[in-house]
Amino acid sequence: MKKKELLNFTKEELQGFMKAHGEPSYRASQIFRWVYQKGILDFSQMTDLGKNLRAKLRELLTISPFEVKKLLSSQDGTLKFLFSLPHGDEIESVVMFYGNRITICVSSQVGCPVGCRFCATGMSGFRRNLFTYEIVGQILFAQNYIGKKITNIVFMGMGEPLLNYDNVIKAIHIINDKEGYNIGQRRMTLSTIGIVEGIKQLAKEKIRPNLAFSIHAPSDEIRDKIVPINKKYPLSKIIPALIEYRKITHRKITLEYVIIKGINDTIQDARILRDIARKLRAKVNVIPLNPVPGLDFLPPEEETIERFARIVSERVEVSIRKSKGREIQAACGQLRAEYKLKEKVYQ
């Protein structure tokens, strides 16, 4: 019989699984605490479970290990993992340290079908959705590696999380579970390129992360050039969905804006973005582009970025996001793309 991946189970599912195998459902809570709170991956070390049960669990369940294929660390402490997944493929996760806060940026897909023109992941194509255990596992293996508890999660790595909806939502439940990682919904952020059906569905969830919309351009005309999926989900459809989301959830939305020299950095662009942010009562993160080798896009000069942010900031909360780990290819998908390139060169 094929063993099941333990990290695919929410606690309720694991309770059902334990019952189906003649065990009381509270065993699920014990197992969750061992794995997610203590980082123990070996059933034989779960000492409050009887010997027979431990042997049974070894036969039924597995936690397939991730291999750290490459690890880069930058001067500001940022760590970038290239994980080799148990059943093939590679993904990236980035761990960032801000005082007591330790944030992991997780991937939700291998590659990305959205194809943003300025993004290494988007340019390297799409392979598949990640399973729940491959999302949850990024936190577990990064945490065990650094030996410290991760406090915040952002779904901003490789892939579009709302195009892998069910697995991402299941992962969010495991992350939020009191006996799982016990990370509150307000300490999780999901960033979307604007998948309208996904935004509507998310509004109805019981556990919802903070929502960030990667707008990247103030008009469809500019957005069409850098975010090809904008043809399917134009701003005229996304903005009403976000207004509705806000009405239902009363949660603040963030607009993520990757600013690119000569593409979306004019005074006029800033004014339109400011008006959209006011309409949504959203805050804005201006993110200077992290240039990707081989792509023709650059960040604007510092004065242009500051002027842009100043204009947007008229009655809107704005920050210019400092780029962490710039020297370690922290732009999403860059490490995997580079690794693939090297593999090709040296094979």
Find the helix or strand (DSSP H, E) in which 103 lies: strand 101-105
Are 318 and 283 within 8 A, CB to CB? yes
What value, to the nearest 5°, has the Cα angle with vertex 14 and ends 13 and 16?
A: 65
Pairing of strands 67-73, 79-84: antiparallel
Query: Which of 94, 102, 158, 259 forms a contact with ligand SF4 (CB under 6 A)?
Result: 158
Token pair for 65: 């290990």
Q: Spell out, one character per residue from 93 to 112, where the chain touches ligand SF4: x when CB under 6 A holds, - when not.
A: -------------------x
145: tokens are 């590696």
Would you say 31 or 119 has its CB closer to ligand SF4?
119
256 in contact with ligand SF4 (CB under 6 A): no
- Our answer to whether residue 105 is catalytic in this structure is no
The CA-based angle 155-157-162, given to 5 degrees, is 50
Question: Which lies closer to ligand SF4 via its Cβ, residue 10 or residue 191?
Answer: 191
Answer yes or no whether residue 259 interacts with ligand SF4 by CB under 6 A. no
The single residue listed with the structure tokens 């189970």 is: 9
Give 114 or 312: the residue with its C-beta nearer to ligand SF4: 114
The first and second tokens of residue 259, run together, are 């600013």
User: 203: which 2 tokens?
Assistant: 């509004």
Contacts (CB under 6 A) with ligand SF4, residues 320-339: 332
**Which is the catalytic residue, given 92, 134, 160, 256?**
92
Residue 106 near residue 138 (C-beta atoms within 8 A): yes
Tell me the closest approach of the beta carbon of residue 260 to ligand SF4, in angstroms: 12
Contact between 114 and ligand SF4 per CB under 6 A: yes
Q: Which of residues 190-219 bind ligand SF4 (CB under 6 A)?
A: 193
* Interacting residues with ligand SF4 (CB under 6 A): 112, 114-116, 119, 121-122, 158-160, 193, 332
The residues that are catalytic are 92, 332
